[in-house]
Amino acid sequence: MDPVTISDIEEIAFEKLDKNAFDYYSSGADDEITLKENCNAFNKIFLKYRVLVDVSKRDMSAAVLGHKISVPFLIAPTAFHKMSHPDGETAVAKAAGKAGTVMILSTLANSSVEEVTEAASGPVWFQLYVFKDREITRDLIKRAEAAGVRAIVLTVDAPLLGQRVRDVKNKFDLPSGLTVKNLEKNFKEDLIINKNDSGLASYVKENLDASLNWNDLSWIRSVTNLPLILKGSACSEDAILAAEHKVEGIVVSNHGGRQLDTCRATIDVLPEVAEAVKGKTEIYLDGGIRRGTDILKSIALGADAVLIGRPVIWGLAYNGENGVTDVLNILRKELDLAMALCGCTDLKNITKDIIVRNLH
């Protein structure tokens, strides 16, 4: 039987992926409380069913950074796609293009930014980590710019890597033959630095700049004129600071529950962020999206669009580019139905009036 839901596809991915890969993709920090809460928090938010509204025509299109996309969801940046499928990030880029949406490519991709932009038929944004060696960071930005990316998505919530217990126990490392393509010329050594820990955690501690702060945004602005989005805002205070620094967008995110365990679910943070900065910058929600109703709730609570992370990886493991397309189509179909049943014909009709919180 063909998969019907995202959870169906995740079950297939669990069977197909080895433990090192599946645990890397699926795990969260420490006791994985926030990891679970990112999904569970949506179940505490109820929708108001509306009737006798003409919903015969519906439009799910959105605009991000002035670019029209066919659905209000983008592909989140996730690392190491080739652990999931040999075609890796290029397959995801092709699926994103067919779906009429944006792919955000990770710094830690197994495919180069040039390979991905060449394969893409839609916009590609580049997720950036800032390295202690700023020339490496400058080179990444310029290389992404030359390849034709449309925006820089700066990850700001990982000065150090959260303790992902499953990765530590597995002594996570990239499988033989896979590399971090965009960094090959800068780092000749293997990803693993400390064989007694997660190799990625060691890599981040050794190479990424934990001193990164608000003053550094001006340096990034001096390197590129591309729009700048900050990924990792998890409270209104930081969202306000981001807006004051005139970034073009913020991603309400807790890194998929992989950094600080017991921090709040992103959907619970979203309303305070939207109230603080709505209209001053674009707002995207990242974390826990598994249903079309999750997307609807996010937009109702103030997001301009959402990011889809792990489900894309499950789709890639399931059936490469076509599997990713299946994931995006499932979410598109579910969102379309949810909009109709809530009496919403386009995104402008999706307001907080359709939200009922915590019925139980």
* pLDDT: which is higher, 357 or 354: 354
pLDDT of residue 168: 87
pTM of the shown model: 0.94
pLDDT of residue 185: 78
- The answer to whether residue 12 scores a pLDDT higher than 80 is yes
Give the domains, in start order, of the chain with CATH numbers: 6-350 (3.20.20.70)
pLDDT of residue 116: 98
B/e letters for 118-157, b = 16+ CB within 10 Å, e = fewer, are ebbebbbbbbbbbbeeeebbbbbbebbbebebbbbbbbbb
Are the beta carbons of 193 and 202 closer than 8 angstroms?
yes
pLDDT of residue 208: 86
Q: Which of 47, 35, 126, 63 has its CA nearest to residue 283?
A: 63
Active-site annotation holds for 360: no
CA–CA distance, 295 with 303 (Å, rounded to integer): 9
pLDDT of residue 213: 95
- The answer to whether residue 171 scores a pLDDT higher than 60 is yes
Q: Tell me the pLDDT tens digit for each residue of 176-225.
A: 888 889 988 776 555 544 455 555 666 667 788 889 999 999 999 999 99
pLDDT of residue 159: 85
Helix (H, G, I), strand (E, B) or coil at 285: strand
Residue corresponding to tokens 């800068």: 186
Lowest mean pLDDT among 173-177, 296-300, 305-309: 173-177
pLDDT of residue 189: 54
How large is the average pLDDT for residues 167-176?
86
The pLDDT > 90 percentage for the chain reads 84
pLDDT of residue 335: 98
Are the beta carbons of 132 and 111 closer than 8 angstroms?
no
Are the beta carbons of 331 and 71 closer than 8 angstroms?
yes
Catalytic one of 81, 85, 245, 255: 255
How large is the average pLDDT for residues 239-256?
97
Q: Tell me the pLDDT tens digit for each residue of 174-190.
A: 888 888 899 887 765 55
pLDDT of residue 187: 62
Backbone phi and psi for residue 230, each to the nearest 5 degrees, phi listed first: -100, 125
For residue 20 the two structure tokens come to 């090192």
DSSP letter string, 234-287: -SHHHHHHHHHTT-SEEEE--GGGTSSTTPPPHHHHHHHHHHHHBTTBEEEEES
E strand or H helix that includes residue 133: none
How large is the average pLDDT for residues 311-337?
98
pLDDT of residue 194: 45
